[in-house]
Structure formats: C-alpha cells, structure tokens
Amino acid sequence: MKIDKKIITIDGFDYAVRIWGTGEVLFALHGFSESSNTWRNLHLAGYKIVAIDLLGHGSSAKPKALAPYKLEAILKNLHLLFAQFTDGNAFSLLGYSMGGRLALRYCLAYPSAPVKYLILESTGPGLLSSEDRQKRRLADEELGQKILLNGSAWFADFWANISLFKSQKKLSVKIQQEIWESRASNSPLALAQTLNGTGQGQLPYVGDKISLIKSNILYLSGDLDEKYSKIAKEIFAPNPNVTWISVAASGHNIHLENPVTYQKILEEFFLSQNAL
C-alpha cells in the first residue's frame, strides 16, 4: 500500500506524518524513542491512518528548548494538527505507551474534540502520589543526562535491556536490529528533553478521570506485561466506557510482537462498535 509522507508546520514546528488507507481518520501516536514507522504494518479497511512523528522524534522538529516538550504545548499542537486532516469531522485516536499517555490526556484536555474511539495500548494513567512523581522526575533527569553523555547508541543498548521489553528477545534478530537502529537514530538532546518535558514524573495522575472521557475506549495490554496488565485490570477496566482485552503471548509492544492478532482485535472492535 502506498504511504504518503508530509511535513505539516504547526506553531513554527515541523511535524512529519505518514498517511495510508482511505476512510475515517485514525491518528496513531508512537512510543518513546520510536517514530510513525512503528505503525507501518497496520492496515484497517475503512480507515485512513495518519501516523505522526511526535515532537523530538523521527523526522519531526527537535527543538533545543524545553518549553515545546511540555504537555500543554504538545497537546495544543496535536489539536491543531488533527484539525488539518479532519475539518471538524469525527476521528479516532490510537496511542502506544508514551503516545497513549498523550492520547488519553488529549481527550481530557479537549473534551469537545470529536474523538469517536480511543485505543490505548500499554498506557499508564500517571503516578498517583507526588512522592512517586518526584522520584520518577529525578530518575528521568538522570537518564537524560546519561543519554547526553553517552549517546543514542548507548541508549538503544540500555533501553533494549530494561525489564519492560524482555519479551522482545523472542523476536527475530532482524526485527530486534531494526528496533535498535530506530532507537539509536534519535537525537540525544531530544530524548532528554522529552523525558524532562513529558516523562511520567511530569504528568498529572488521571486514573480517576477515565470515566469522564466521552469516547468509547479500547484498552490493550499484553499478558506477558505484568505491570500494564495490572493497570488495565485495576484502573481502566472498571470504567463503563472501557473495553479491556488482554492479548496472549504479548509483552509491552503488542503491535510489534503480535501484529496479526493486534490488527484482528482492532478490526473486530470497530465492527462491533459500528454495529451498535
């Protein structure tokens, strides 16, 4: 399938997007240190997928200053970017990990936005206590300094070996190498500023606000990802607007580790919702 690549300038910053398919618009937001390329194998009949390189990632702008990486600025620019493709019409929003955190908070920050469906993959609601958020801020600042000191290749080695991604060791050597190269291609400064601007310690807890979102929510967690399976069960699933699916034989990055099942789940979700 042909993929169109565009650069959209929002508030002085260039955002790179990849577009494929036809139909209703589905915006896709990737995880930390990734790019829109992570969604390249996702094809959904009846949907135009608009995959975005988030600020500091991929081919999008990588400003030096911290302010553009702050949550309010990121969400404002995403809101303006979404409008470029929808002309006020309804759209759906898909986010993985960091992208999911942004998608979730976008729906809360812009409650009148016409988000039809919100799909969250391995997404956290933030840290509940101020003490935990402070600890995470310090840890992210320390990691940012290490990235600046040691470079993106060091980061790619480090990130591949954190416990959250242990299930990716089962992927082919080729795919693991592609993941490593993608992570290693990042700007050290942009990674550090992303951690300092929208890292987990910087974001407010929103686990008590999920029921306020007007969109129907699909939450996906991998059954091998104990941390986010617990989050899904305890925080997301109890809300009446959430459908939770635990995906077998999958870790944190389900769309990468189990792409066939992932696509089937999304197709069935859209069909079931549209049939209502």
Per-residue pLDDT 10s for the chain (276 aa) are 789 999 999 999 999 999 999 999 999 999 999 999 999 999 999 999 999 999 999 999 999 999 999 999 999 999 999 999 998 899 999 999 999 999 999 999 999 999 999 999 999 999 999 999 999 999 999 999 999 999 999 999 999 999 999 999 999 999 999 999 999 999 999 999 999 999 999 999 999 999 999 999 999 999 999 999 999 999 999 999 999 999 999 999 999 999 999 999 999 999 998 766
CB contact at 8 A, 37 and 17: no
The predicted-structure confidence for 96-131, as pLDDT tens digits, reads as follows 999 999 999 999 999 999 999 999 999 999 999 999
Residue with tokens 């955190």: 101
Instruction: Tell which residue, 16, 90, 93, 77, has the closest CA to residue 4.
Output: 16
Residues facing 121 on adjacent strands: 96, 220
- pTM: predicted TM-score of the whole model, two decimal places: 0.97
Q: Is 95 left (phi over 0), alpha (psi -120 to 50) or beta?
A: beta
Pull the structure tokens for residue 242.
Answer: 């959430």
Do the beta carbons of residue 236 and residue 228 sit within 8 Å? no
Look up tokens 């729906």; give the residue.
107
Name the maximum alpha-carbon separation found in the chain: 54
Res 276: pLDDT: 65
Kindly report, residue by residue over 60-99, the tens digit of the pLDDT: 999 999 999 999 999 999 999 999 999 889 999 999 999 9
Tell how strand 115-121 and strand 216-222 pair up: parallel
Query: Per DSSP, what are the bridge partners of residue 243?
Result: 218
